[in-house]
Every structure is written in structure tokens, then in C-alpha cells.
Amino acid sequence: MNAKESFVSQFFRILNVFQALPKSPNHHISIEDLLESLKTTYEPFHAPRKTLQRDLKTLNEILHRGHIDQVVASGRRSACYRLSPDAQLNLNKQNIIQDEFQSLATIHSYNFLKPYFPESWQKTLSQQFEQAQNTLELKNKNVWLTKFGFALDGAFQTHLNPKNEIKELIFKCIHQDNTWLEILYHPEALEREATRYTIKPHGVIVRGRKQYLIATKINYNRKIQIRTFTMHRILHAEPTPESLSIDIQDVDMQKAIEQYEFEGFYNDDNQPKEIQLNCSNVLLSELKFSEIHPSQQIWSDDADTYFTLTAEMPITQSFLEWLVQKAQWIEVEYPEDLREEVKNRIIEMAQNYALEVIDDDIEWQEDVEENFDEESAIQTLESILAEPEDDNVITLHDLFPQAVEFVSEKEMISTAELQRKLMISYNSAAKIIDQLLHVDFIQKSESAGKYSVLIKK
């Protein structure tokens, strides 16, 4: 085969072979007679017989239906060929693939999506898949298939596919508006038992290695709710007739993705929350390139080892898991309930590995309250605010007086609150808090991240 020959020329040559071959029940034709009938087609080739043999093999692979029936050469008798009675090369089909880039995209798409489709869909798509492979073979581009691959979040839990019979029912129901499903579903919360639901499936979202079914759940009181079901946790499914008295609107999967329908929300609350994180500079580059949310803002001082990140976003389960995963570099300032949730999960992890978690805040606070002398504290504060003459006197932050003015009006204060008020970095606010602790102006409280104000206006 001429390597410089265009694909169109190759294709039309193979088409000529298809038209020249007899079809059963007609007799076979020898390769010599076939070559003679296609003399003008194969004359330009240095080895026309070998080229014809390759084209016969290719034609057999790209037939939409049927096959080439071959009588193998024996002794002096040449090989003979004919088409099977059902042989068909349907050029009117739009799915015939001629471009190698289209072929490559088709093969990679098929390889990626194949595990998520039911077997009936896989069989339907296999024809386009085989055509695409043959196109790459014809153009000597098979090696392209080795240049791209898929790995979903590493090599852990790679087999999270629902049963094929369940997938078949779900996909059928998605594309037939008049069909509902009765399913037995085991929720993600392990302590809960499997529950029966009546649902109308709308679509499937693939995230990582999991498939999520977005469906309308129909309650016994005929109320409807959009719910997300992890597909591999559906234990059983069977069709059930729809109720014409219940009007169910379809759901756009793209909008469902934008609304985080594919995962749960912390405390089942999908409303955006203001969050503030204090992060180590180790994460600065990562979070600049991979924002946690479009509303993300980063406040960083080059001299600090920490930076502050703020955003307004719904708190999803995956975000909560990310905070726990990155806990060595991230402290949640607020919301308070999120901070407590992350802290409790970290404590549970430490207990699993028999690590002792020391919480001496209460004992420390009792010692401070017992020994606290307000008059002495005021004298110490006045002496520190004065111009320092001794090298042993601590050097106050430039905004320390403003901090004292602000804090003295409060019952409680946190580093984050002071940071927002003075519009400084978290590290600078932490230094001022340390100085206020040093002069007994504030003391630690039982609330995590909060300090009780001891000297008020």
C-alpha cells in the first residue's frame, strides 16, 4: 500500500473491491480473476496482488453486516472469495468514520464511557468503535491510541459499577418519560437500612469513579423531591407505571452539576456560607491555581508564613473531607460549626491510632482566673504602652493601641475578628493576640479560637 496515498483513494479502491466481489449463492471468484477485473485500480502498485489481499482483509473488517467467504488456496488452486448473502457496506449511514482525529476521539470516548453504559448500549456503540479502529489501521495511526489514557483518582475502589440489569432499567427509564422505577436503596450512612423508593430518573452524573443518579423521589403523600442516589448502592430495581396525576419536570444535568446535586451538603444545607481559612504558605501556589470557589479571595503578607482565604460557598461533603485531609496546613476560623466538625474528626482520627489529645484549656483558664489581678494587669498594660526603655520589654505591634481600643468594647474576641477589623494579615493579628495575652488583657476561653476580654471600658 502506498504510504503517501490519501485516505479517500484507499477507501474508493476498497469500495471497488466490494462491488467486484460476487455474493452468495453465486460462485467464488479467484484472486487472479478478481485482480484482472480491477486491473486499472491496482496497476499503479508494485505488488498489486499483495495490495488486493490487504484490501480484502480491510473490507471484511469494515463491512456493516456479513463477511467475506474465503476458500483457502490449496496446491495449484488459488484462493477464492465471495461475499456472504447478508454482506452490506452501507454508505448512506452517517456513522461511517473517515477522519483519523474523529476516529481517535470516538475510540477514547468509547473507552472512557464504556464502563458506565449498560451492555445493550455498549453493543450498539461497538460498530462505531470498530469503524474508528479500522480507520486508524488504514492510515497507519494505531500508535496514537497509546498516547492517551484514563485513571480515575488513583487505583483505589476501581469497581463501583452497579449491576448491568439495574443500569439497563435506569437508562431505559431516563429515555422513556412514562416509566418510573421502584428501587431498594442503601443510603451512604452505614447505620441506616436499605429503603424502598419510587423514583423517576432524570440523568446520571459521573464524578471520580462513582455514578450518581439524579431522580425525582415520589413520596407516599404524592409530594416530589429531587434526590441523588449513588448508583452502585441501588440493590434492586423494577419498573412501575407512572401516575398521570403527578407532574414531574425534567432536570438538566449541567444545572444539577452547578448546584452540587451529585454530592451531599454539610448539615443538608445548600445555602452559601461565608468561610475563612488560615492556611500555611505550603498551599499558596495550589490554591492560586486551583480555587476552591469562584468567590475565593486570598490575603497574604510576604513576611508571613500563613495567609488568609475567604469565600462564600455551599459547604459540601467533599469540601469538608478536603479540610480534614489538609488539616496540617489549614485552620478553619469560621463558620464555628464547621470548625468544630473538622476538629472533632481530627480528634477521632487521633483516637483511632491511640494518640493522646491533650486539651488543657480549661485547666489553664482556671489557673488564670485564680491568679488574675485586674489592677496589676492595668499597670502592666500602661507600662507596656509607654515608650520602652528596657531591652527586655516586648516590642508592640504598631496597631496595638487600636487593638486595645477595639477589644476593650468586646466580651469575646478572636484572631480572625481582630484581623478583619484592623485589615491586617492573620499572622499580624495573632501577634497582637499574643501580646494581649501577655499583659493579661484577655484570656483563653472554652470556645475554640475565642478569648475572653478581662479589661473592658
Q: pLDDT 10s digit of each residue in the chain, 457 long? A: 455 566 667 778 888 888 889 988 888 999 899 998 988 888 888 888 888 888 888 888 878 788 888 888 777 778 899 999 888 876 544 444 456 677 777 777 777 777 777 877 777 777 777 777 777 776 676 676 666 766 666 555 556 777 888 888 888 888 777 788 888 988 765 556 788 888 888 888 887 777 888 888 887 667 777 788 888 888 899 888 777 666 677 777 777 766 666 666 777 777 888 999 988 888 888 888 888 888 898 887 666 678 888 999 888 878 888 898 888 888 898 888 888 888 888 888 887 777 665 554 444 444 444 555 555 555 555 555 554 444 444 566 778 888 888 888 888 888 878 877 887 777 778 888 888 888 888 888 877 678 888 887 6
* Pair (258, 174) in one structural domain: yes
Report the CATH number at residue 429. Answer: 1.10.10.10
Rounded Cα gap, residues 209 and 7, in angstroms? 38
Residues 252 and 227 in one domain: yes
> For position 323, which CATH number holds?
3.30.70
pLDDT of residue 159: 61
Instruction: Please count the CA atoms within 13 angstroms of the CA of 401 that sit on its side-chain side.
Output: 6
Grid-cell match 501577634, residue found: 431
Domain co-membership, 249 together with 275: no
The reported pLDDT for the residue numbered 93 is 45
- Residue 157 is given by DSSP the state S
Q: Enumerate helices (H) and strands (E) in the chain, giving the number of each.
A: 16, 15
Residues 272 and 233 in one domain: no
Q: Are residues 125 and 59 in the same domain?
A: no
What is the C-alpha separation between 416 and 229, in angstroms, rounded? 38
Reading the block at residue 456, the C-alpha cell is 473592658
259 and 272 share one domain = no
Query: Is 402 exposed, middle or buried, given 0-12, 13-18 or 19+ CB atoms closer than 10 A?
Result: middle
- pLDDT score of 228: 81
How far does CA 265 lie from the centroid of its chain? 16
Within a domain: 159: no
pLDDT given at position 392: 46
- pLDDT value at residue 367: 47
Radius of gyration of the chain (CA): 36
Residues 19 and 60 occupy one common structural domain:
yes
Question: Reduced to 3 DSSP states, what percent helix, strand and coil does the chain have, rounded to the nearest 5?
Answer: 40, 20, 35
- Residue 81's pLDDT is 92
Helix 400-407 vs helix 415-422: crossing angle, to nearest 10:
120
**Per the domain annotation, does 222 fall within a domain?**
yes
Give the CATH number, domain containing residue 225: 2.30.30
Same domain flag for 275 and 250: no
Residue 429 to residues 290, 300, 397, 434: CA-CA distances in angstroms? 27, 13, 9, 9
Model-level pTM? 0.49
Which residue, 141, 203, 195, is CA-closest to 3? 141
Q: Are residues 394 and 449 located together in one domain of the fold?
A: yes
Give a yes or no: residue 42 inside a domain.
yes
Residue indicated by cell numbers 505488488:
47
Grid cell for residue 81? 472469495
| Interatomic CA distance for residues 91 and 316, integer angstroms | 50
Tell me, yes or no, whether 49 and 104 share the same domain. Answer: no
Using CA atoms, how far residue 118 sits from 128, 165, 239, 420, in Å, is: 16, 8, 16, 54
Identify which of 186, 204, 205, 203 has the alpha carbon closest to the alpha carbon of residue 195. Answer: 186
Residues 312 and 366 in one domain: no
- Give the range of the structural domain holding residue 106, as residue numbers without chain letter: 100-147
Q: How far apart are CA 104 and CA 126, in angstroms?
A: 14
Q: Are residues 27 and 116 in the same domain?
A: no
Please give the full DSSP string across 345-391, using - where no structure is assigned: HHHHHHHHTT------HHHHHHHHHHH--HHHHHHHHHHHHSPP-ST
Segment holding 274, helix H or strand E: strand 273-280
In a domain, 92, yes or no: no
Of 230, 263, 296, the last residue of a domain is 263
